[in-house]
Structure 1
């Protein structure tokens, strides 16, 4: 009887799956959350913030892809920082990534619950959020190819809906509406709006978490990232600009459902098309919660396999070849967040984790260029060192903005990091060497 390898993931993903996973992870950001940026900066102020953040993500992705293809490891930034900086660096990057993805899941679940409650008031927000969480935990356990195929289907529907939205509201765009009181808080508003602009693209880096499950990662990972980034930049700018011109933007700046409201203003809330749009608006949120569960489970799996979390979380289901215990534990954390916190606080913590992880990744890129100049780099960072430097600086500015406007939540983030570091040192994990060929030896150690 052939022995089942319980520490290896199945290689089945192609560029279309990576595009779907990346876009699916992010696309809920086009449906809600970003419009709160208008409330602190105005339309032009938020447009400037969005352009700055778009530059950050373009430079980041074209730099991060070097790391993803050189070290195609399910740990993502955790693996890169460990190799470049050492155990402490790995812990900081791993902690930030866990906060990023594990908390993005309940934030999106809350939004899904609110959306369902808006459509069907008899269904409670928390009830719907928990139901969606359970459903997608089970789907992710069933197999990565099955869940990736679902990602392709649901992401195409979500993108199609946003294109339909732009087609409906585009003819009703008025520049006078968009330019009304465009920067009420001046440049300080642009600074305050940066975290909301990050929400447009947050989690695209999650493709790195499935790097070990990609066929020919050296070739396919860059393709998946580039296709996804191009799609998201077009959708983010198109949705944000067109929505801001259909009415007084202040009417939409505090809503959890700005797109259905904009459609309702254009066509009338009693229109059948408005109702259809509101119903299928769930596709984008569903695509994202599915993707964040997929990505967060791979991060838990990778850190457990490397000894940073309990080893039992690194086991792979013999039938489905998925990290089932990592998926389940991630789900439990999501449930705890759903029952103990609120959407805005969870969202801010998730964004803090993301920008911290971006900074650690760019630092790792610079250090690996010096430490391992002969490392095989199937995709070299574009315009090195300029692009990674730009990504690092803008990420740092975004982190400062979040800390300045969300001091209490920032203290929670850093208190958690401090506890993790203390436990790590007390257990002497900072002196232990990780016996992980994929992390230590690069792509040549991986059977492609």
Structure 2
């Protein structure tokens, strides 16, 4: 059975994947943080999280270039901590990448519903899964080129949004009741700042997914650092710009718990019949599509890598005639569609489905960030001679900052999202149980020099 991916991606493709994986977070999801922390409280949360991500990416790039593997964090953690370390990183990453797409798909449905009020958003979400799973199956080069095009359009549209709403921007609107609904900071503002962490992380969630395309990158030791550094700088600028501009056009509380804050913010400035507003809805879909499409690529590579190493059924590691892991693509899609139709079946602490999926995905991400930074420190100690074409700047301080802030985020999330945290632990426990029962599958899996260090 062929289980070798083909290197076809250049720097621009990888930048497109890194930014495209994330950019839907600039279009929706983050505004739920306003409802929790207020505009000023959430600005503090976002700056904290942006610092964590910047330090993390500069550190994570060392691992990605030293061990360019489709498993990404799974590969680094397995090499550093053995099979159980790989299990923790692999399952956490899988949870992150499988639960983010349903949230994005529902936002695609919400954006289309603005134009077509009779369209069921869930039906549109399922249609998005079918279309973009198909595109990913057709080939990584086609998929990555499409990702680059829609990402560039999505970035351009966010810049257009900021320009169009600028005449209606007022800083007094942004700061009004900006501390969890209060006009001034107090000790009662602090819980909201920490409770909003998942929605600030949504601004940057999944940028690390470009690591899962590392086996398919041309000259990964050169192209990946450029893509990652350019990607995080792009996203920090867009996140802060979009959040501040949207919050200053009127009553920000009207935007704090909806899936389409940017069209509604623009509507407050130019009216509902403006061509600018309709353009934002249509081109804004590119941002959602870029992330949705890119994360399908990411989760499929994680399924593939875990299956190839014997952590999941080998059935999922088979490649199609287009050299893509089609079974892995379909498996993640079926889980996502089931999640979309679970809305209303269970009550997750009063959250909307979108907020719940975001929070579940963020739990997976934060656990993966923690074990990735621990892997960086461990490999520096145990494999000092490992070829590192890119070394984390400011080591050990920069990766240390990323690690400490990730731990703070995990503690805060567990405190404010206990039920979802317990469900997350349930998924991790199920993965561990499967791990205990399938040692023979891992023993029979093909040897991988990047994982064993041989």
Q: TM-score range by the shorter chain?
A: over 0.9
Q: Residue 174 in 1 paired to residue 170 in 2?
A: yes
Alignment match, 1:29: 25
Q: Residue 385 in 1 paired to residue 396 in 2?
A: yes
Alignment match, 1:139: 135
Q: How does the TM-score come out when normalised to structure 2?
A: 0.93
Alignment match, 2:82: 86
- Is the CA contact (8 Å cut-off) linking 1:87 and 1:430 kept in structure 2? no
Distance in 1, matches of 2:334 and 2:371, equals 27
Distance in 2, matches of 1:437 and 1:258, equals 46
Distance in 1, matches of 2:48 and 2:59, equals 17
Alignment match, 1:376: 387
Q: Could you tell me how far 1:440 is from its partner in structure 2?
A: 2.9
Alignment match, 2:427: 416
Distance in 2, matches of 1:282 and 1:373, equals 46
Query: In the alignment, which of 112, 120, 138 is matched to residue 108 of structure 2?
Result: 112
Distance in 2, matches of 1:437 and 1:402, equals 35
Alignment match, 1:337: 339
Q: Give SS of 2:218's match.
A: coil
User: Structure 1 residues 60 and 429, CA, compared in 2 at 3 Å: closer, same or farther?
Assistant: farther
CA deviations 1:350-383 (Å, max 9, x no partner) are 0100111000100111111111111111111111
Q: Could you tell me how far 1:346 is from its partner in structure 2?
A: 1.5
User: Structure 1 residues 241 and 198, CA, compared in 2 at 3 Å: closer, same or farther?
Assistant: same
Distance in 2, matches of 1:156 and 1:16, equals 10
CA deviations 1:233-252 (Å, max 9, x no partner) are 11001001111111121121
Distance in 2, matches of 1:365 and 1:63, equals 8
Distance in 2, matches of 1:270 and 1:440, equals 56
Distance in 2, matches of 1:48 and 1:429, equals 49
Q: Could you tell me how far 1:62 is from its partner in structure 2?
A: 0.3
Q: Residue 128 in 1 paired to residue 124 in 2?
A: yes
CA deviations 1:43-86 (Å, max 9, x no partner) are 11111100000000000000000110010000011111111011
- Is the CA contact (8 Å cut-off) linking 1:424 and 1:430 kept in structure 2? no
- Is the CA contact (8 Å cut-off) linking 1:22 and 1:225 kept in structure 2? yes
- Is the CA contact (8 Å cut-off) linking 1:69 and 1:378 kept in structure 2? yes
CA deviations 1:154-178 (Å, max 9, x no partner) are 1111111000001111232211111
Q: Any residues of structure 2 matched to 1:276-287 within 5 Å, and which?
A: 276-287=279-290
Distance in 2, matches of 1:295 and 1:20, equals 13
After superposing the two structures, state which structure 1 stretch, 37-46 or 91-100, moved more.
37-46
Coordinate RMSD, CA, aligned: 1.6
Distance in 1, matches of 2:36 and 2:102, equals 24
Q: Could you tell me how far 1:279 is from its partner in structure 2?
A: 2.2
Distance in 2, matches of 1:436 and 1:154, equals 37
Distance in 2, matches of 1:28 and 1:428, equals 39
Q: Give SS of 1:200's match.
A: coil
Alignment match, 1:293: 296
- Unaligned stretches of 5+ residues in structure 1: none
Distance in 2, matches of 1:439 and 1:423, equals 24
Q: Residue 234 in 1 paired to residue 230 in 2?
A: no
Distance in 2, matches of 1:67 and 1:434, equals 23
Q: Any residues of structure 2 matched to 1:182-261 within 5 Å, and which?
A: 182-184=178-180, 185-261=188-264
* Aligned residue pair count: 438
- Unaligned stretches of 5+ residues in structure 2: 181-187, 344-352
Distance in 2, matches of 1:253 and 1:365, equals 37
Q: Residue 326 in 1 paired to residue 337 in 2?
A: no
